[in-house]
Amino acid sequence: MNLKMLCTGAVALSMLTGAALAEHGGALDEPTKMAPFYTAADMKTLKSEADFKEAWTGLKDEDRATITQECGDIATAQKHGDFCTMVGHQ
């Protein structure tokens, strides 16, 4: 019984955390973090692989970890497909 309650609590906590992250939008929806990876302010065209890598290495370790984690989410990866593909090559 205690194991069942513990598992139920863990699932509920993970769902609440996921909802909170979804509301925030994440690092991939922050223009100031994403602008260095794109050629123009409209953020429609990614920079070359070399320039992308330079921008990637210019990020803080925690920002790279957050972005990599967000690109691991299927829905996010679909929304930011080309970007997340480039992240996977870094």
Tell me if residue 46 falls in helix, strand or coil.
strand
- Asked whether the predicted pLDDT for residue 47 surpasses 80, the reply is yes
Three-class SS state of 11 = helix
CB of 34 closer than 8 Å to CB of 44: no
The string of pLDDT tens digits covering residues 60-84 is 999 999 999 999 888 877 888 899 9
Confidence at residue 10, expressed as pLDDT on a 0 to 100 scale? 53
Give 10-30 pLDDT, tens digit per residue.
555 455 455 444 445 688 989
pLDDT for position 11: 53
For the chain, which residues make up each domain, given as ranges? 25-88
Predicted confidence at residue 19, as pLDDT, reads 47
User: So what's the pLDDT on residue 16?
Assistant: 47
Alpha carbons 30 and 46: distance in angstroms, whole number: 16
Supply the pLDDT for residue 15: 52
